[in-house]
Each structure stands twice: as structure tokens, then as C-alpha cells.
Chain A
């Protein structure tokens, strides 16, 4: 591409940017507005300056007229000449002339002119004589004229002042003027406008400079604002959309403003999150479906060879009754082949699942089925699978296939953790009774203006904490609440003793999280409250030693019966640094070997059953996964 083309495409790219368009529009408007303002400003300033000069010239002309009146009446021409010459020699005056009615210059500051005739079409006479017949009176406004004697000389202002006939004139001793004459002559004062023109030029320059600087500064400010408030978030959103379009559903747009773009960003993040969940589920069900088809295919193909082996071996066993050695060996073959048959059967049970269906099921039985599926892999290594199951477990409302998948995933993980060495996987089950405070995590929390209070960057026991801002007379700061319902293990970060003087606010919008007039039933302090979408409100008290919390919608429907299953291994263990991210998708510890989805899927299934999954691990000692599932889902 040539550099000219590059420039053109660069211009189009710039041109197509919303920020540029907005800035361009605003600057154009400002340019127009300030241009018009400057134009009229210069116009009116010029006019008023000129008017000032006119008024000044007029005064001068009147003063001269009255000054020379006495001399005129006495026909003292020498004195008049002297007055006009003296006055006319001043710098601020170009020249002073008096014409008589016929147009002859009688007096002038320029003595060479005296006696010359002035054409009636000359600029000084034109005003009165233009209409053909001379005007006898001239309005103040029309006495002044601005002209240039030569095109390249500076401007001049001329003021003509008609000298009217008065009784004193025709009664004067000289009898110079008859009574019938109206206008005796004209006093013409010409003033140079050099100074004024310089002033006008200077002020015009000032206005133009001012206008340009205002436009420049405004465009800079508007450009910056557009860039900060519109361009940057839009760019960020665009980047986010590109990422999502490319399949990166973990991308989150970081726009934290309260405006429409901020809302758009939040909706976008929300949508991406939903999309990621849906994709995970889809991926999972798709995976299960293809696994099911594979299982059915394998089961079908393996049936015929298994039939031959089982029939022959059981036939031989029948025939070798009495020969104890052969009999024992054949027994192994038959029982192992029957075990193969059971594996095929459980594979088919697994394949038979279509839509997730929750129904009453025996967790022990599910563990047994999972063990049958996994055991085939375990026998290859030196891993022992020990089960210690409580036979009096209550039946649990679950999707048996999904829960089976959980146990399969955990057992396979345990076997992987043990690796090539000798090891034991122990699966235990028992019935327990749990309060909501022990298992219920507050996963979403909203302020009254619907800002998310859950801060995924701050974690308490690896769970995203609920953030709030406290404010007292002394200061303000952030606190983080433990998301486990009922817990009082918060990160209060030095918040002063909780009382009426402490206000809790949303960290985003500073709206109060403490409803007016609601108090803790235990200690009488004011309480906080936030919404859990679709699940009502959580209220609580932060007074030291009180720790009261209420989640009405959950408390009302709570059933404390749980089944707990532990899957323990004595394998390599998980480093503490990896524990917080263990259940996140694509966080594999197995390198190329794992998909990083196993534990995420496991977590998703347990979460779907309103259960909890926790992990205890020590490097070199082993790992225990603890799953707790409510008996009534």
C-alpha cells in the first residue's frame, strides 16, 4: 500500500470513529457560534468607535463655529484665518475649511486652497447636493462621512456643519448676507482615522485570537471528554465483543461507570457469564451424549466376544466340578467375565440418561455404580478402592447419572493423584445434619441500585466476598463480609466499633445499605440489608459479638438433612496456591493430560443440587473432597 493510500485509509478510520465524529460535530458548532459572535462583536465595536470619533468631530466643529461667530459678524477675516489655521495645524485634525454658498473655499487650514472652487459632486458636498437640489438642513447623522482621498491613503472622517443664516447675520454692520439666504456656507472639518483604524484593527485581532484559543481549548476539552467517557468504554466494549466472538467467554469488560455505557458493559458481562455457563452445560451434555453413544456402541460390540468367553468358561466350569485346581481358575475367569458384563451394564445405564431427572436415589448405590465404572481403570495400577458406606443413609433426591459423574470424576482424579505408586482411595458416606449457616453461600448480592456487591477479587476461604463501604465522622473504608450465610468471620479492615454512627454504603454508588428504622432483634443496633436476586433479602448485624443474620426465604424452607460423601486419596496433594482456583474451568493441574473441566463440571453438578463441595489437601499427604447434598433438593 502506498503512503497516500495509507493516509486515506487512516483518515477513513479516523472518520469512522464515533469519538472523532462527536468531537468534530461539537467543534464545528462551537466554531460557528464563536465565529458569529466574533463577527458581530467586531462590527459593533467598530461602529461605536467611529461614532465616538464622529461625536468628537461634531463637538469640535460646533465649538469652532461658535468660536468664529463673533469674528464673522465683525467680518474680521484675519482672526478667522488665524483661528482656523491654528486649529487645523493640530495633529488630530487633517484640515478645516469653510465654503461659501457658491462652493468657493473662503477659509482653510491649508492656505493654498483658499479661493479654489469645489465641485458640487466632491465628496464633501455630495451629501447635500446629491438630490440635484441642495438640502437646506442636514440631520446630525448625515453630516459625517468616511472616505479615502486616494485608494492607498488612510481613512478620513469628514464632518460638514452648515452655517445657517441668522438675524444677526443680515443685520450685521457689513451686510454681507441678504435675509433670503438660508445657508450661508459650510464648515468642513476632516479628521484622520489612522488612530481609530489602528484601534479597530487591534481589537479585531484580539477577538480573533480569543475565538481561536476558545475553540482550541474547547475542542481539546471536548475531545478529551469524548475520549474518556465514550471512546475508551466503547473501545473496551469492542475489544470484549471481539474476544467473545473469538470464543473467549472468560473475558470481562472493565467499564465501571454509572452511565448507559457502564450499564451496557455490565449487561454485556452478565450475558457473557450466562453464555459461558450455557456453553459449559451444553459442552457437558454434549460430552455425556457422545460418551453415551460410545458406551452403547462399545457395549454392543463387546457383547458377542463376551458371550463366547462367558459361555465357554461357565461350560468348562460346569464340566470340571471335582477338579479343584481347574475349577478355581475357571471360577476366576467366569466371575471376572461377569464383572465385565456388569461394567457394560453400568455403561449402558450411563448411556440411557437423556434429560437430567431428579428422583429419589440411594447415594451408596450411585457410588457403587461409579466405582464399577472406574475400577476397570484402577486395576491397571496399584490403587486400592476402599468403600466405607453408611447403609442407613436416607434416599436423596438427585439426578443419579449426574451424581455418578461426580464420583467418577473425583475417583479418577484421586487415582491420577496417586499415579504409579501404591495408594488407597477411600470413599465414605454418612448422614449429617447441617444448619444453613454451614453450607449456604451467598453467591449474589445487590445494593438497592442493583450494583453487584460480590467482589470476586477478594476472597474469604476461597469464596468471593461481599464488599461494603463504611463511613463514620472520622473516615471511610472498605469491609468484606464472609459470603457463607450466618458467618461472622468478616474482614472488617479496622472499621470502628459498629454503632449508630457507622453507615454502610454500596462501594459503587454510595447508596445506604442500612434501611431506615430496621433494627437487630438481638442487640438493637441498626442492620444492613441487601438483595439476593430471586432469593429474597439477607439482613444482618455487624455489632461485635452479635453477628445476627436473617435470610427469610431460606430459613423458611430449610431442611437440615444432608448426605456427606468424602473421597480421600493418599496421593500427591494439591499445593495451597492452587486450591482457590481448583473449581474454575480450564484450571487443570494435570498439564496436557486434563481438560480442566472435570472439577468445574463436578462443582456445577453439586451446585445444581444445592450441595457444596469442599477440598482439604496437603502436599505429599493426600487430598479429601467433601460433598454435601441436601436430602430434599
Chain B
């Protein structure tokens, strides 16, 4: 009975689910859509999916309750949240502990959607591999170990609090691995203000996909890592130390930190 399908899309707006289905099916993915979270849970019981795309603001069961329900039923399918810019705060919350791997702000273009979907599919595969290798499925494993005192925004980015009140921001190894070969980083300039949950840098992979790196903590850019910009492979090799991206002056670290995983 159980077949493996690629994507399950849940959004209470039919136009959105249909559009997502159209785009992803055209790329040869198998897509199931539903406008009801309860129905989605039934689909997940019946079939195996490689990825779930889920809206946060839904009428009956919202994104958070849906994620909790998944955790309760022991379903480990990676989830990507979809949300408007007005609720990026919600997206950041959904990444912390509840198990979403990534999110995509609405509205998005077909390319933006495909980039996130492909990256998240690979991320799921990598997590599965890690699990079968006997490693914990929480992202702290990985190919390059993440230092214990780093705070992480899902599987995307990290921040290290420094003594002087500044903080270092970088991108996680799983994100880089899933993005498959970064050819270039586009970073914000020193002095610019970053907002938690809004993209702070762009990574362009070798196939031309544009990956937005979501910022783990809001603040003003004090310094950018020139080495990372000139030599993207440095970030891939050593994402947690020499491959950092920004040194920032956080605006409100206490409130930002509560949504991050240690």
C-alpha cells in the first residue's frame, strides 16, 4: 500500500496549493495537495512523503499544532513552512525544536520555491543517512561538528555570542551540504541592519540556484569575513570557525535567542 511520494503540500488557499503542485510536478516530482491539515495527517499515515510544505496560518489546525502532531505520531518527514513576510517571527518559532527544517516567505517565484524544495529534499536525505549511520536526527551531528555553545536557527544558520557583546553569524554545514556546492556568497555591507528571520545573505550554488540564508539574529553588521566572500569553499570546509560570515552588534539578543536551539 505504501508508496513513496515526493511532496505533500498543505495550505488552506487552493490557488497556492495548485500553483505549488504545478511548478513541482513540472519538475517531475510527485506531489499531493490538500487544503486541510487533518487530511494531511491521514495522507502521512497512509503514504511515505519525502517532504512536507505547510502553511503556518491555517484555520482548523495551524502550522505549530500540525508540527506537534507529527512529533507525537513519530513522523520524521522534514517540513518546510510557508509564511508571509508579516509572520516571519512565526516561521522562526517553527524552526525551533518543533522540527521544521526550513521556511519560504510568501509570495515566491517558481525558482525560489524549487530551490528551497530541492535543498530540503536533499536535507531530508542527509538526515536519513545520518540516522541510519546511528547519529541523532537533530542537526547537531553532521559532517563538521557544530560547537556546543553555538545557537542554531534550524538547519540554516548559527550565531555565536562573543564576550564583547558582539556576535558571529555563519551558515550551518547541513545547509551548505544540501545546497550542493556554493560558487559565490553575496553578503550585506557593514553598517546594514539585519533582522532575525529575514535573509541576510545569498548563496549561489554551482547550478545557478539562489539560496537565501535566513538571519539567526537581528543586529547591525560590524564586519564581514572577507575570506569567506573571496573563497566560498572556505565556508564549506570550515563553516563554524574560519568560514563565519558576519560579526554583528545584536539589537535585541535576549528576545532573539529564545527562538534558537543550543
Which residues does A use to contact B, with CB under 8 Å? 296, 299-300, 303-312, 314-315, 317-319, 334, 337-338, 340-341, 344-345, 348, 351, 359-360, 395
Contact residues in A for B113 (Cβ distance below 8 Å): 311
Q: Are B108 and A307 in contact (CB under 8 A)?
A: yes
Q: Does B125 interact with chain A (Cβ within 8 Å)?
A: no
A-B contact pairs, 5 of them (CB 8 A): A299-B86, A308-B13, A308-B19, A314-B109, A340-B107
Cα–Cα distance between A312 and B87 once the two chains are bound (Å): 23
Q: Are B84 and A312 in contact (CB under 8 A)?
A: no
Closest chain-B Cβ to A415's Cβ sits at a distance in Å of 26
Known: A299-B85, A308-B19, A348-B86. A315 touches B107 (CB 8 A): no
Contact residues in B for A345 (Cβ distance below 8 Å): 85
Which residues does B use to contact A, with CB under 8 Å? 11, 13, 15-16, 18-20, 22-23, 26, 57, 84-87, 106-111, 113, 191, 193, 220
Picked from A306, A314, A359, A395, the residue with its CB within 8 Å of the CB of B110 is A314
Cα–Cα distance between A348 and B111 once the two chains are bound (Å): 24
B195 (CB) vs chain A CBs: closest residue:
A352
Contact residues in A for B16 (Cβ distance below 8 Å): 304, 307-308, 311
A362 (CB) vs chain B CBs: closest residue:
B191
Cα–Cα distance between A156 and B38 once the two chains are bound (Å): 130
Picked from B22, B86, B193, the residue with its CB within 8 Å of the CB of A300 is B86
Q: Are B22 and A299 in contact (CB under 8 A)?
A: no
Picked from B26, B84, B111, B193, the residue with its CB within 8 Å of the CB of A299 is B84
Cα–Cα distance between A587 and B106 once the two chains are bound (Å): 42
Contact residues in A for B109 (Cβ distance below 8 Å): 310-311, 314, 334, 338
Contact residues in B for A334 (Cβ distance below 8 Å): 109
Cα–Cα distance between A230 and B26 once the two chains are bound (Å): 89
Known: A312-B19, A315-B19, A319-B26. A304 touches B106 (CB 8 A): yes
Q: Are B13 and A304 in contact (CB under 8 A)?
A: yes
Closest chain-A Cβ to B178's Cβ sits at a distance in Å of 22
Cα–Cα distance between A345 and B88 once the two chains are bound (Å): 11
A395 (CB) vs chain B CBs: closest residue:
B191
Closest chain-A Cβ to B252's Cβ sits at a distance in Å of 11
A338 (CB) vs chain B CBs: closest residue:
B109
Closest chain-B Cβ to A445's Cβ sits at a distance in Å of 40
Contact residues in B for A303 (Cβ distance below 8 Å): 84-86, 106-107
Picked from A307, A344, A395, the residue with its CB within 8 Å of the CB of B19 is A307
Q: Are A315 and B110 in contact (CB under 8 A)?
A: yes
Cα–Cα distance between A310 and B11 once the two chains are bound (Å): 16
Contact residues in A for B86 (Cβ distance below 8 Å): 296, 299-300, 303, 348, 351
Q: Are B111 and A311 in contact (CB under 8 A)?
A: no
Cα–Cα distance between A568 and B31 once the two chains are bound (Å): 54
Contact residues in A for B13 (Cβ distance below 8 Å): 304, 307-308
Contact residues in A for B220 (Cβ distance below 8 Å): 359-360
Q: Are A305 and B106 in contact (CB under 8 A)?
A: no
Closest chain-A Cβ to B94's Cβ sits at a distance in Å of 16
Q: Are B107 and A310 in contact (CB under 8 A)?
A: yes
Cα–Cα distance between A340 and B87 once the two chains are bound (Å): 17
Contact residues in B for A338 (Cβ distance below 8 Å): 109
Q: Are B85 and A305 in contact (CB under 8 A)?
A: no
Cα–Cα distance between A317 and B85 once the two chains are bound (Å): 24
A340 (CB) vs chain B CBs: closest residue:
B107
Q: Are B191 and A311 in contact (CB under 8 A)?
A: no
Cα–Cα distance between A425 and B86 once the two chains are bound (Å): 31
Q: Are B15 and A308 in contact (CB under 8 A)?
A: yes
Contact residues in A for B107 (Cβ distance below 8 Å): 303, 306-307, 309-311, 337, 340-341
Q: Are B191 and A344 in contact (CB under 8 A)?
A: no
Picked from A296, A299, A310, the residue with its CB within 8 Å of the CB of B108 is A310
Cα–Cα distance between A317 and B26 once the two chains are bound (Å): 13
Contact residues in A for B23 (Cβ distance below 8 Å): 311, 315
Known: A308-B16, A309-B107, A310-B107. A315 touches B85 (CB 8 A): no
Cα–Cα distance between A319 and B19 once the two chains are bound (Å): 14
Q: Are B85 and A312 in contact (CB under 8 A)?
A: no
**Residue picked from A310, A338, A360, most chain B C-beta under 10 Å:** A310
Contact residues in B for A304 (Cβ distance below 8 Å): 11, 13, 15-16, 106
Picked from A309, A312, A351, A395, the residue with its CB within 8 Å of the CB of B22 is A312
Closest chain-A Cβ to B248's Cβ sits at a distance in Å of 14
Closest chain-A Cβ to B84's Cβ sits at a distance in Å of 4
Q: Are A307 and B106 in contact (CB under 8 A)?
A: yes
Cα–Cα distance between A441 and B99 once the two chains are bound (Å): 59
Contact residues in A for B11 (Cβ distance below 8 Å): 304
Beyond A304-B15, A309-B107, 11 additional contacts (C-beta under 8 Å) are A300-B84, A303-B106, A303-B107, A308-B13, A308-B15, A310-B107, A314-B109, A314-B111, A317-B110, A318-B111, A395-B191
Cα–Cα distance between A298 and B244 once the two chains are bound (Å): 37
Closest chain-B Cβ to A400's Cβ sits at a distance in Å of 9
**Residue picked from B23, B110, B111, B193, most chain A C-beta under 10 Å:** B110
Closest chain-A Cβ to B97's Cβ sits at a distance in Å of 25
Known: A344-B85, A345-B85. A318 touches B15 (CB 8 A): no
Picked from A312, A314, A340, A360, the residue with its CB within 8 Å of the CB of B191 is A360
Closest chain-B Cβ to A315's Cβ sits at a distance in Å of 4
Contact residues in A for B110 (Cβ distance below 8 Å): 311, 314-315, 317-318
**Residue picked from A299, A315, A318, A334, most chain B C-beta under 10 Å:** A315
Closest chain-B Cβ to A261's Cβ sits at a distance in Å of 52
Contact residues in A for B85 (Cβ distance below 8 Å): 299, 303, 344-345, 348
B87 (CB) vs chain A CBs: closest residue:
A300
Closest chain-B Cβ to A269's Cβ sits at a distance in Å of 42
Contact residues in A for B20 (Cβ distance below 8 Å): 311
B23 (CB) vs chain A CBs: closest residue:
A315
B21 (CB) vs chain A CBs: closest residue:
A311
Contact residues in B for A307 (Cβ distance below 8 Å): 13, 15-16, 19, 106-108
Q: Are B19 and A311 in contact (CB under 8 A)?
A: yes
Contact residues in B for A314 (Cβ distance below 8 Å): 109-111
Cα–Cα distance between A359 and B26 once the two chains are bound (Å): 47
Contact residues in A for B19 (Cβ distance below 8 Å): 307-308, 311-312, 315
